[in-house]
């Protein structure tokens, strides 16, 4: 049996990437000096492109550990719902209850402070919470410098600890993009970064059937399913209902990572 503790892997050496990057730049200089720019320039570009790739790819482990799926072969999935709390939260909770499903809500700190009763209701009904930044700067979260990144994580962690009664242990980067400064911010709070293995783009796609089709193509035992609430198109609860119905039909159970059904 795999416990939540074994899945919970905060960054242990959050600045290790800096030493590796510094060594790579030293190699670039040495090659450029010894052989010339025709070899040095491609090496320089490759080293910087690696940083860009590690930042923009949600499942990248270049800068910090990340959980992209649950272990084992049991027909279980981890439903994760981003961007709340919102006006949709109550309807989403009712749907989860109706299907006997559990989910982790990755909450935005400022929105949690605006809807503390919704946060408490999530916890009361037995669901999990995660840190999803303080004010969800979707256009530039990936480019935040160290102090601003730390503030996003710190302030959200404080807001969620206040509203939920305990600090979360999970973190999801905004739009999934985690730059080199996310790891140190997570290490301060013992947070584990969570990505996903199945998504339907329901934050922007208003058609529940299209969302479901995308998710189903990626569905496997242990999948971490990315969903949202509060999207402008207003159809997130309807989409969740379709997903839950399909999970039931396929004999999948939506569980939290610390439940006994999560097996190695």
Domain of 243 in residue numbering reads as 66-254
Asked whether residue 197 is domain-assigned, the answer is: yes
Q: CB–CB of 212/200 below 8 Å?
A: yes
* pLDDT of the residue at 18: 86
Kindly tell me if the per-residue pLDDT of 35 is higher than 70. yes
Residue 245 lies in a domain: yes
242 CB contacts (<8 Å, ≥6 apart)? 208, 209, 211, 212
The pLDDT, as a whole number, for residue 4 is 54
User: CB neighbours of 35 closer than 8 A, spacing ≥ 6?
Assistant: none
What is the CATH number for 182?
3.20.20.370
A 10 A CB-CB count for 165 gives 12
Active site residue 228: yes
Catalytic residue among 127, 189, 228, 258: 228
Does 5 map to a domain? no
Whole-angstrom Cα distance, residue 215 to residue 238?
15
Both tokens assigned to 67: 């959980």
For residue 2, the model assigns a pLDDT of: 47
Q: Could you tell me the two tokens for 153?
A: 């994580």
- The share of the chain scoring above pLDDT 90, in percent, equals 86
Question: Could you tell me the two tokens for 2?
Answer: 């795999």
d(CA 224, CA 84): 18
Taking residue 168's Cβ as centre, other Cβ atoms within 10 Å add up to 22
Per DSSP (E only), the strands in the chain are 66-67, 76-84, 103-107, 128-131, 170-171, 192-194, 198-199, 224-228, 253-254
When pLDDT is cut at 50, 70 and 90, the band that residue 17 belongs to is confident
Residue 50, in any domain of the structure:
no
pLDDT over 90 (residue 3): no
Residue of 148, 226, 158 whose CA lies nearest to 191: 158
State residue 146 phi and psi, 5-degree precision. -55, -45
The residue from 8, 82, 209, 261 that is catalytic is 82
Within a domain: residue 38? Answer: no
Residue 174 lies in a domain: yes
**Which helix or strand (DSSP H or E) is residue 20 part of?**
helix 16-35
Residue 77 lies in a domain: yes
| Residue 233 annotated as catalytic | no
Q: What is the pLDDT of residues 194-235, one digit of tens each?
A: 999 999 999 999 999 999 999 999 999 999 999 999 999 999
DSSP string, 199-254: E--TTT---HHHHHHHHHHH--TTBEEEEESS-TT--HHHHHHHHHHHHHHTT-EE
Q: In the prediction, which pLDDT does 169 show? A: 97
pTM of the model: 0.92
Q: Characterize 192-207 residue by residue with b for buried, 16 or more Cβ atoms within 10 angstroms of its Cβ, and e for exposed.
A: bbbbbbbbbebbebee
Q: What is the pLDDT of residues 45-103, one digit of tens each?
A: 999 899 989 999 999 999 999 999 999 889 999 999 999 999 999 999 999 999 999 99
Percent of the chain with pLDDT over 70: 96
Count of domains forming the chain: 1
* Assigned domain for 26 exists: no
């Amino acid at each position: 049996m795999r416990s939540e503790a074994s899945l919970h892997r905060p960054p242990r050496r959050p600045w290790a990437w800096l030493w590796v990057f510094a060594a790579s730049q030293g190699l670039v200089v040495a090659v450029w000096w010894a052989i010339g720019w025709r070899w040095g320039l491609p090496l320089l570009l490759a080293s910087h492109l690696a940083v860009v790739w590690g930042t923009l790819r949600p499942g990248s482990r270049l800068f910090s550990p990340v959980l992209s799926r649950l272990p084992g072969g049991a027909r279980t999935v981890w439903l994760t719902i981003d961007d709340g709390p919102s006006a949709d939260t109550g309807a989403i909770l009712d749907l989860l209850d109706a299907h006997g499903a559990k989910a982790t809500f990755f909450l935005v700190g400022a929105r949690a402070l605006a809807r503390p009763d919704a946060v408490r209701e999530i916890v009361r009904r037995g669901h999990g919470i995660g840190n999803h930044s303080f004010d969800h700067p979707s256009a530039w979260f990936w480019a935040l410098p160290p102090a601003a990144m730390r503030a996003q994580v710190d302030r959200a962690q404080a807001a969620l600890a206040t509203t939920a009664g305990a600090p979360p242990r999970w973190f999801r980067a905004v739009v999934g993009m985690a730059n080199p400064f996310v790891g140190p911010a997570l290490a301060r709070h013992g947070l584990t970064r969570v990505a996903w293995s199945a998504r339907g783009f329901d934050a922007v796609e208003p058609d529940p059937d299209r969302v479901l089709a995308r998710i189903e193509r990626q569905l496997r035992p242990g999948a971490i399913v990315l969903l949202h609430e509060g999207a402008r198109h207003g159809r997130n609860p309807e989409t969740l209902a379709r997903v839950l119905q399909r999970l039931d039909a396929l004999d999948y159970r939506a569980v939290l990572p610390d439940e006994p059904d999560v097996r190695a």
